[in-house]
Structure 1
Amino acid sequence: MRDMFDTPDPRQPHSEVFLSAATPPALRLREEAWDLIVSDGPVIATAIHDGHLLRPSLQPLVALDDTARWREEDPLTSLLTQVGDVRLRVRRSRFEVDLNRPRAQAIYTSPEAAWGLEVWRAPLDETEREASLALYDRFYAMTGELIDRTVERWGCALLIDIHSYNHRRDGPDAPPAAAADNPDIELGITTLDPRRWGDTARRFANVLRRHPVRNALPDVRCNVRFPTGGHFPEWVYAHWGERVCTISPEYKKIFMDEWSGQVDIPALYALRDGLQHAVDAVRPEFLS
């Protein structure tokens, strides 16, 4: 049997992971809540808010329709994970459990926690809450073992924690939010060691700026809209410190209409290509 760090056969399904008897327990579990592809390399790319699925027992309890939920998720960000040696896409919706928030806040219990949206028809009972939190725990156990093995193999790792954000919250016919406060690509770098990885992050950003999207060079800035980062990169930093360089790109939804759902395919692929160039530019720093 192949080790999980062998290069996977491209003919295999997206969710196929090659495992060995030495693989840690959480990585051996078959899990329908996410897709994981692992090949030999130090770059991990994640799309933890891409998912839209809810487990069957929650579907009659949710007060939002599919369109309202989808607008606040990060659809299509999993395509951008193609830049990683390790690719992780969570299939479950953030409305079931938000993996980028602390465990105590991972289930939305009020409109204030969910962009003013009333998520549930009634408060969830303890059975449903525990089921969601069990998924949260499985995710962090699996990801912890994945990062441990990557760092053991390479000495360090580059984690690309990919998200997207809305910029037309006033409605489909209203003007978009001001560009001054809404870069095309925001890089969250609050949870990397600046002494070890500051130059790496600057090179990464400069390469992104050189690759046009929709016939224009993108506005790429750091820590503008989300200056405090998210729980997932904070957890990575707390456990692995300077051994993992975490960069969290937040893509303004210039690759789609966030109200109608219409996708600008060339823009999406241009963003993917720019991200690939940025990863390639800094990859040698993680191969020593």
Structure 2
Amino acid sequence: MTKNGTPSEIMQKQIWSASFGGSAIVGTAIHDGHLLREDLLASIALSNEERLYEEDPFTGEMIGGLTNRIIGHRSRFEIDLNRARDAAIYLTPDQSWGLEVWNEPPSEAALATSLSVHDDYYAMLASFLDRIEMSHGRFVLLDIHSYNHRRGGPNGAPTPQETAPDINIGTISMDRSRWSFVVDAVMAHFASADIGGRKLDVRENVAFQGRGEQTRFVHDRYPQNGCAIAIEFKKIFMDEWTGKPDTRIVSDIRHAITELEPVLERLLRESR
């Protein structure tokens, strides 16, 4: 062991990682993480597989080509950074897809520790975005998530395509008229991309509307300069029951997101 700890010990301590550079585009994957604090392991009722099913694996990899990116390393079952602070810890089944998350409720001390992560994240995000606003004026945050479409089981019928687009763009918390030139470009970009040898079905506010805490935070704090778009990829890039990825599709999505950065940078420049 080195004096700074083994790689696994370091990862266990990490809550998120952030990369910052000279772009007005930010990618986040705040549900990518699977780690849990050690003090929660004895009280959580869910298996690793049950937790993974509701998490967003591989979304961190999808944004890996962006200049500015924030990737969460902790499970949403420890703290959900995309929910308001008072709902960010799943304590009852109605908050967590009907799942009984805990064998016994976390202690008050454990709850306070988890909530401090929520506080720290949004303090960090504010500082991160303040610097981008100072450097570039307007900016776009791509809030990358994924969603399940085979909840009937490994052999069950998938959710019908009409209610489960391949990519759902959530825009409900933004001033849509102000940012239409960005949203329309994002949708056109993904609709024209070759993902796994085909074009994807890209629609707005169908399966989800973008009501998460992070997009709300951006639009409340930066009403003139911040555009946050919730982008939900249906889990066509993996087997949602085994967790096995389709590496070609993950790579294609990463490429499409990476190629979106200069498109949006140009649009922001031209619309000044």
TM-score, normalising length: structure 2: 0.92
Q: Percent identity between the aligned chains?
A: 37
What's 2:54 paired with? Answer: 72
Read off the aligned partner of 1:134 and give its amino acid letter: S
Alpha-carbon offset, residue 191 of structure 1: 2.6
Query: Comparing 214-223 with 186-195, which one deviates more in the overlay?
Result: 186-195
Contact 1:34 1:89 in 2 (8 A): yes
Alpha-carbon offset, residue 282 of structure 1: 2.0
In the aligned structure 2, how far is the partner of 1:128 from the partner of 1:82?
A: 32
1:167 aligns with 2:141: no
What's 1:182 paired with? Answer: 164
Residue deviations 1:198-238, cap 9 Å, x none?
A: 12210111111111222221000011111252111011111
Read off the aligned partner of 1:139 and give its amino acid letter: Y
Question: Aligned to 1:280, which of 252, 262, 265?
Answer: 262
1:55 aligns with 2:22: no
Question: Aligned to 1:265, which of 247, 254, 257?
Answer: 247
What's 2:182 paired with? Answer: 200
Contact 1:208 1:277 in 2 (8 A): no
Read off the aligned partner of 1:125 and give its amino acid letter: S
Q: Tell me, what secondary structure is at the counterpart of 1:196?
A: coil
Contact 1:111 1:119 in 2 (8 A): yes
Read off the aligned partner of 1:81 and give its amino acid letter: I
Instruction: List alignment gaps of at least 5 residues for structure 2.
Output: 1-6, 8-12
In the aligned structure 1, how far is the partner of 2:15 from the partner of 2:259?
A: 30
In the aligned structure 1, how far is the partner of 2:268 from the partner of 2:127?
A: 19
Read off the aligned partner of 1:216 and give its amino acid letter: R
Q: Tell me, what secondary structure is at the counterpart of 1:194?
A: coil
| 1:1-288 → structure 2 map (5 Å cutoff) | 32-227=14-209, 229-287=211-269
Contact 1:205 1:278 in 2 (8 A): no
Q: Which fold has the larger relative contact order, with Cα–Cα distance below 8 Å and residues 6 or more apart in sequence?
A: 2
Q: Tell me, what secondary structure is at the counterpart of 1:269?
A: helix
Contact 2:23 2:265 in 1 (8 A): no
RMSD: 1.5
Question: Would you say how many aligned residue pairs link Structure 1 and Structure 2?
Answer: 259
In the aligned structure 1, how far is the partner of 2:186 from the partner of 2:46?
A: 38
CA distance 1:263–1:228, change in 2 (3 Å) = closer
In the aligned structure 2, how far is the partner of 1:84 from the partner of 1:239?
A: 23
Moved over 4 A (4+): none
What's 2:10 paired with? Answer: none
In the aligned structure 2, how far is the partner of 1:164 from the partner of 1:46?
A: 12
In the aligned structure 2, how far is the partner of 1:70 from the partner of 1:249?
A: 19
Instruction: List alignment gaps of at least 5 residues for structure 1.
Output: 1-12, 14-30
In the aligned structure 2, how far is the partner of 1:76 from the partner of 1:206?
A: 23
TM-score, normalising length: structure 1: 0.87
Query: Comparing 243-252 with 208-217, which one deviates more in the overlay?
Result: 208-217
Read off the aligned partner of 2:130 and give its amino acid letter: D
Query: Comparing 207-216 with 149-158, which one deviates more in the overlay?
Result: 207-216
